[in-house]
Amino acid sequence: MILKNIGIIGAGTMGAGIAQVAATAGCTVKIYDTKTDALETSKADLERIMDRLVEKGRIDSEEKERIQNNIKYVNTLKELKDSDMTIEAIVENLDVKKNVFSTLEKFVSDDCILASNTSSLSIASIASSLEKPERCIGIHFFNPAPLMKLVEVIPAIQTSIEVLNTSVKTIKDWGKTVAVAKDTPGFIVNRVARPFYGEALRIYEEGIADFATIDWTMKNFGGFKMGPFELMDFIGNDVNYTVTETVFKAFYYDPRYKPSFTQKRFAEAGYLGRKSGRGYYNYS
Ligand code: NAD
């Protein structure tokens, strides 16, 4: 089954990137957000990204136009009704996601696949909000979605084998490499990454080194492309903190995943990282 019409819910960092990936692969994409300014920002960002790709000679202006014309920005969830697959990329909150999934199911056809880009929440629990839970699956892109090759595909215990196979094929057709992972907190990458962020925050909190020194050390001697604080600023401290908190709770408060007060306070203060202009570093 070829999935042509893709609905994206959430026009933030991930939703905008996933829309670009699907539109580049030739799909017709509709992207919805509760905030009109998020839709406007993602449209303006795409224009800038496309211009840069044209300047670098990676695409020509016809390709730019084709990709941009493939994406429609919509103001109601109902407008996603003709989707073959929807991918949700909204706030990392189980109740909010479940509410969106159960509302969306009322509009779409019986064979529409309903996917979540959640980093850490239970796909089985999201699926339980549906009349047809077998159509639900986790499709977890990494940031930035157009550049990162890996996508984790996570079937819930309710997910049908057809939905799993179609999802894997679709994501491969979009040029990505797929790792199928079990429905456990953080799946593969986000689970391995928790102690990377957590230990870096603890090193800072114990006064051993500042953010820049920790990042510098990890890049120059650890072989990492980005240091932990640069990476948390890139991901967003709100999103990253919530994922750690979810994984910590989901593993029955295993201290290996204990969240950090430093990161909590940064998120509460609105020091979210690049997207707010200030995080562990200043971007303004
Ligand atoms: P974000 O804050 O950049 O964007 C979320 C968007 O969702 C916002 O524009 C917001 O207005 C919108 N939104 C919130 N509630 C909504 C609703 N009920 N209906 C429609 N739109 C709604 O967040 P993000 O970083 O793009 O993360 C989105 C999801 O992707 C989360 O589940 C997150 O865990 C996951 N994720 C994030 C990253 C990352 O690096 N940021 C990577 C992989 C997965």
Q: Residue whose CA is closest, atom 16 of ligand 1?
A: 90
140 is catalytic: yes
Q: What is the pLDDT of residue 9?
A: 98
Q: What is the pLDDT of residue 258?
A: 95
The model's pLDDT over 32-61, given as tens digits with 9 standing for 90+, comes to 999 999 999 999 999 999 999 999 999 999
Q: Out of 70, 116, 117, 119, pick the active-site residue.
A: 119
What pLDDT sits at residue 15? 98
Closest CA to 174 of 51, 29, 26: 26
Mean per-residue pLDDT of the chain: 97
* Interval 70-91: pLDDT, tens: 999 999 999 999 999 999 999 9
- Reported as type and span, the H/E element at residue 80 is none
How would residue 246 be classed by pLDDT, with cut points 50, 70 and 90?
very high
Domains of the chain: 5-180 (3.40.50.720), 191-276 (1.10.1040.50)
Ligand 1 binding site (Cβ under 6 Å of any ligand atom) = 9-15, 33-35, 38, 89-92, 96, 100, 117-119, 140-143, 235-236, 239, 243
Rounded Cα–Cα distance for residues 99 and 113 (Å)? 16
pLDDT of 25 reads: 97
Whether 1 has a pLDDT exceeding 80, the answer reads: no
Closest CA to 86 of 64, 103, 61, 68: 103
Of 70, 25, 27, 78, which is closest to residue 46 (Cα–Cα)? 70
- Nearest Cα neighbor of 89 from 22, 44, 160, 172 is 22
| Ligand 1 mean position, distance from CA 241 (Å) | 13
- CB-based contacts of 34, cutoff 8 Å, min separation 6: none
Give mean pLDDT, residues 221-234: 96
2 has pLDDT over 90: no
Supply φ then ψ for residue 56, to 5 degrees. -80, -5
Helix (H, G, I), strand (E, B) or coil at 207: coil
